[in-house]
A and B are shown apart, each in its own frame.
Chain A
Amino acid sequence: EDKVVQSPLSLVVHEGDTVTLNCSYEVTNFRSLLWYKQEKKAPTFLFMLTSSGIEKKSGRLSSILDKKELFSILNITATQTGDSAIYLCAVLSSGTYKYIFGTGTRLKVLA
């Protein structure tokens, strides 16, 4: 069965810290991996990764995929209180084109 596992489940840091969130997967017919941020209701899209070793970057956030080891990391540098959210990892399967989500990492950034 397809599976996406995220770690840690929760994390508390202080403003200015750097955090690394992990996502590993076991999915048949992998197509792409996506990161979302969920603050209150709707998850909002951050990154889509399809190729190994190519870093995607947006401001203080960056992400990279390792298709050989089947994992991805999301880095957030110089964290701010506005980064407090649940970060979701999802994998898109090319067989079914279904997004399979992990349980998420709940990040809390303290002022």
Chain B
Amino acid sequence: DTGVSQNPRHKITKRGQNVTFRCDPISEHNRLYWYRQTLGQGPEFLTYFQNEAQLEKSRLLSDRFSAERPKGSFSTLEIQRTEQGDSAMYLCASSYLDRGDTEAFFGQGTRLTVV
């Protein structure tokens, strides 16, 4: 297993376009998290899944954001009608809940630039 994988690594898009990011977690992990990080800030929680169920979505997240994890494996995060304020690093992390206390493992992130 090579760890958490995110694609693409970089994305530049024009304002108003839709973008989709993919995250492949560590294979046996049942929890998958999406975070957003801007310069000088820590990762900000967006949403998370246990298996295929989306358990929580941040109230800071507008309706333009949607995430799926259709078969409890990989996940996608879509941003519709992108705005310049969406420019950030989008981090995916995974963990295995049932092994007691466990750390989350992070992917390399997708850096989004909206121009």
Which residues of chain A have a CB within 8 Å of any CB of chain B?
A: 4, 6, 31-32, 34, 36, 41-45, 48, 50, 88, 90, 92, 96-104, 106
With A41-B109, A42-B91 as known contacts, state yes or no: A98 contacts B103, CB within 8 Å.
no
Cα distance A36–B91 when bound, in Å? 14
The tally of residues in B whose CB lies under 8 Å from a CB in A reads 27
A102 touches B107 (CB 8 A): no
**Which residues of the partner chain B approach A102 to less than 8 Å between Cβ atoms?**
42
B43 touches A45 (CB 8 A): no
Chain A contact residues, majority secondary structure: strand
How far does the Cβ of B109 sit from chain A's closest Cβ, in whole Å? 5
- Does B74 touch A at the CB level, under 8 Å? no
- Does B21 touch A at the CB level, under 8 Å? no
A42 touches B107 (CB 8 A): yes
